[in-house]
Structure 1
Amino acid sequence: MTGIIDVHTHYVPKGWPDLSTAAGGGSRWPWLRVDSERDAMIMIGSDEFRRIGENCWSGERRLAEMDRDGISAQVVSPTPVFFCYDRPVDQAVRVSRIFNDLALEICAADPDRLLPFCQVPLQDPDAACAELDRCVTAGHRGVEIGNHVGDRDLDDAGIEMFLRHCAERNVPVFVHPWDMPDSPRLQRWMARWLTGMPAETHLSILAMILGGAFDRLPRNLRICFAHGGGSFAFWIGRVDNAWQRRPDVVGTSRQPPSSYVDRFYVDSVVFDPRALRLLVDTIGPDRVMLGSDHPYPLGEQPPGQVIRANPLLSDSEKAALLGGNAQTFLGATPPGS
């Protein structure tokens, strides 16, 4: 695989079975209200959740937009509203199977350019491992997971077991924030997305570092955090300072938090050239990959513009961010493993 690779995009099928029946009961399931051939609304029960267009479900439309924007390949991941981590395990398994199979249908338009990542019932590690194996056999190229399951973060023993299984199977993992805290203060201005998502991602990276997950997991685990790793890069000095001054309360990691930046990837969707320069300087030029959050309105348009037009990046850094690092993430062993 060569060229420019976007590791952060999402899909939504044009339709799926009634989940209250297909999953075996329950209420407030997501469903799709199709308003026209090119326009639909994701519904949660009777509430409108998000308006979407045909580039969510049409592989051909996605390919045309990729050609327009100069994108060679996309990682096509679930939209987190379908994760169902709060549902009974048997229901989450059924929902995962439905959406994972529909993802393969969307990506069948060009499997060399549309690279499906599956979802799993992460609340149950055995079921999650089984669904991952089924999906990889069927053609999925990786897995997207939410950044937590209720109050269980990524250093939870069960989630860590699943991540170990991904490493053993040589399957890349994309971590996406979801299920952000809610309050009246966060309901204004899309604040759950503007502040909650960066904070959730930052917290999950801290959990893997300070909770000791990176010390316990094999180095060949390939894991990427969405949205530039949230606020982590800007506050890494604060975290190191806390680790050094209050080791009695700040984590159990063997090394200072900044020592672990070579254990994970982040995407580039930070929108500002100076922020991207800081991200590359902090995480490393071999650990940042083009991500756009296509096709949603808060994504970068056109994809990769902040990399390609960035006067603060060298040509070699741009080449790594636009595709070279993603090739390693998707199919090779990370350096130093």
Structure 2
Amino acid sequence: MGTIDVHTHFVPNAWPDLATEVGPGVWPSLRVDSEREATIMLGSAEFRRVDDRCWDAEARLADMDADGVELQVVSPTPVFFSYGAAADEAVKIARIFNDLALEVCAPAPDRFVPFAQVPLQDPDAACEEASRAIASGHVGVEIGNHVGDRDLDDEGIVTFLQHCAAESIPVFVHPWDMPGSPRLDRWMARWLAGMPAETHLSIIALILGGVFDRVPDSLRIAFAHGGGSFAFWLGRFENAWHQRPDLIGVSERPPSAYLDRFGVDSVVFDPVALRLLVDTLGAGRVMVGSDYPYPLGERPVGAVVDRADFLTPDEAEAIRRGNALRFLGR
């Protein structure tokens, strides 16, 4: 009866040469630096240093046991999404990494919950790969929050979300591919400012783009990193919807009417921020997440919930596991 962590990532300790398997391109590869350390490369450029917690089940389980985590949702690292590739190339990449994800999770099927990636740039291919992945052992899908300039209200992405609703596939939305600039390339500003804004923008797109008006409420969808800056700026959003209906009042109902249509994880680090999430969305819409095993994640997992003395025991239990069980369809 431990915590369920809905936001963790994996990196395989090896994968086929994508230039050979897929075709020419600047694809991710892995440079092995030692028995326990490696670096994800994009072409000849370093992308991220990783360690064996990304692929080694024993290392992950040891940390889970130390933090009281019963189940861990294991999702792709977004650099693998490959949304800028041709659809047929992205299909091949998704299948490679989805099959490898099952291998990473295989040593502890009662502890690891694999989520798949899909070639979201092609709705039909994305639906097909989601169904294939679920049939092969995945439990849900992780998608990026946009495909180029197409946000979550894009017609093709709506088709994919409708497919997930029809097949009862949970969807975890992770920000990725934050734009850079001289101002954003300092101090990890793309992660500190751009990432919360990206997530906020995509929740706005689901509301103002009419997605929640068109997709059944059976869709189980959740956003990483506490939904970004959305909760803090809901009041501004609501005011704008009422004050400028000519530009913003395009959804059937005001923004606050859709708060029961999505969930968020708890990766906000501060009980004050968690309180805002709970006050805004309700304790039934927040789930423990950690962003494990990356350095900007939370350890011990669920520490922010432990420090949130405003939560009732029932609310804390819902955030720790009950809401995640519902999201996962268990």
Q: Take 1:156 and 1:117, find their aligned partners in 2: how far apart are those partners?
A: 22
* Correspondence list, 1:1-337, <5 A: 2-26=1-25, 28-331=26-329
Q: Take 2:68 and 2:249, find their aligned partners in 1: how far apart are those partners?
A: 43
| 1:3, distance to aligned residue in structure 2 (A) | 2.8
| 1:21, distance to aligned residue in structure 2 (A) | 1.0
Q: Take 1:70 and 1:197, find their aligned partners in 2: how far apart are those partners?
A: 28
| 1:129, distance to aligned residue in structure 2 (A) | 0.5
Q: Take 1:191 and 1:91, find their aligned partners in 2: how far apart are those partners?
A: 31
Secondary structure of 1:274's aligned partner:
helix
| 1:60, distance to aligned residue in structure 2 (A) | 1.8
Q: Take 1:324 and 1:133, find their aligned partners in 2: how far apart are those partners?
A: 26
* Equivalent pairs, count: 330
Task: Check the 8 A contact 2:152/2:158 in 1, yes or no.
Answer: yes
Q: TM-score, normalised by structure 1?
A: 0.97
Note the alpha carbon deviations across 1:11-55, whole angstroms, 9 max, x for none. 0000111111111222x2111111111101111111111110100
Task: Check the 8 A contact 1:212/1:253 in 2, yes or no.
Answer: yes
In structure 2, what residue type is equivalent to 1:105?
A: E
| 1:103, distance to aligned residue in structure 2 (A) | 0.2
Q: Percent identity?
A: 68
Q: Take 2:69 and 2:56, find their aligned partners in 1: how far apart are those partners?
A: 16
In structure 2, what residue type is equivalent to 1:19?
A: L
Task: Check the 8 A contact 2:213/2:251 in 1, yes or no.
Answer: yes
Q: TM-score, normalised by structure 2?
A: 0.99
Task: Check the 8 A contact 1:212/1:251 in 2, yes or no.
Answer: no
Secondary structure of 2:252's aligned partner:
coil
Q: Take 1:308 and 1:96, find their aligned partners in 2: how far apart are those partners?
A: 37
Task: Check the 8 A contact 2:242/2:249 in 1, yes or no.
Answer: no
Per mean C-alpha deviation after superposition, the further-off stretch among 225-234 and 306-315 is 306-315
Task: Check the 8 A contact 1:274/1:312 in 2, yes or no.
Answer: no
Q: Take 1:160 and 1:331, find their aligned partners in 2: how far apart are those partners?
A: 21
| 1:317, distance to aligned residue in structure 2 (A) | 1.0
Q: Take 1:105 and 1:122, find their aligned partners in 2: how far apart are those partners?
A: 23
Secondary structure of 2:268's aligned partner:
coil
Q: Take 2:49 and 2:148, find their aligned partners in 1: how far apart are those partners?
A: 26
Secondary structure of 1:183's aligned partner:
coil
| 1:119, distance to aligned residue in structure 2 (A) | 0.1
Secondary structure of 1:286's aligned partner:
helix
Secondary structure of 1:24's aligned partner:
coil
Unaligned runs of 5+ in 1: 333-337
In structure 2, what residue type is equivalent to 1:17?
A: P
In structure 1, what residue type is equivalent to 2:108?
A: D
| 1:251, distance to aligned residue in structure 2 (A) | 4.7
Secondary structure of 2:41's aligned partner:
strand
Note the alpha carbon deviations across 1:106-125, whole angstroms, 9 max, x for none. 00011121000000000000
The alignment's C-alpha RMSD in Å is: 0.8
Q: Take 1:294 and 1:186, find their aligned partners in 2: how far apart are those partners?
A: 24
Task: Check the 8 A contact 2:73/2:114 in 1, yes or no.
Answer: yes
Note the alpha carbon deviations across 1:191-232, whole angstroms, 9 max, x for none. 000001000000000000011100110000000000000000
In structure 1, what residue type is equivalent to 2:16?
A: P
Unaligned runs of 5+ in 2: none
